[in-house]
Amino acid sequence: MLIKPATSHTLTQCWYTRMHHPGHGRTRDEAGVLHAYCRHCARPIRSQGGKAWTLADGIDLDELATRSSIRFICVTSVADGMVIARYPLDREADDAAVKARMTEIVAFHHADEAGSGLDVRLMGGPRA
């Protein structure tokens, strides 16, 4: 397979849309994660389930949620999966404190307004 060098700065479709599409030859690893190369930008991408693909070296919210021991509140744009802001939480923060912080962040980003297109989620944290 021909892979463009990482130094290539050609702007591809996914640079604008941030949507990557797998080319041929996707593989599945032991964890069930699909790996492929984007047919537009030729960068390594991965997917849980094959619907949405993210850059293999980029941020994967689901994986972060699973692996991170630090809790944070994540504001993402639903349309393109872009992380807009990430607020780490104090390790000792209790449920009430987390809830209050969440309310603050939702208000700050106007995420509760209709059509905001934003998703505010609590992510990470040690497994209970």
Residues near Zn ion (CB under 5 A): 14, 20, 38, 40-41
Closest CA to 13 of 42, 41, 52: 41
Least Å from the CB of residue 42 to Zn ion: 7
Cβ-based nearer residue to Zn ion, 42 or 118: 42
8 Å CB contact between 43 and 85: no
Which residue number, 17 or 103, has a Cβ lying nearer to Zn ion? 17
**Can you tell me the distance from the alpha carbon of 65 to that of 44, in angstroms, rounded to the nearest whole number?**
21
Residues in the chain: 128
Sort strands 34-37 and 53-55 into parallel, antiparallel or unpaired: unpaired
Query: Closest separation between CB of residue 11 and Zn ion, Å?
Result: 11
CA neighbours closer than 13 Å in the CB half-sphere of residue 21:
6
| Cβ at position 84, least distance to Zn ion in Å | 21
Smallest separation (angstroms) from Zn ion to the CB of 102: 33
Closer to Zn ion by CB, 35 or 40: give it. Answer: 40
Minimal CB distance to Zn ion: which residue?
A: 38
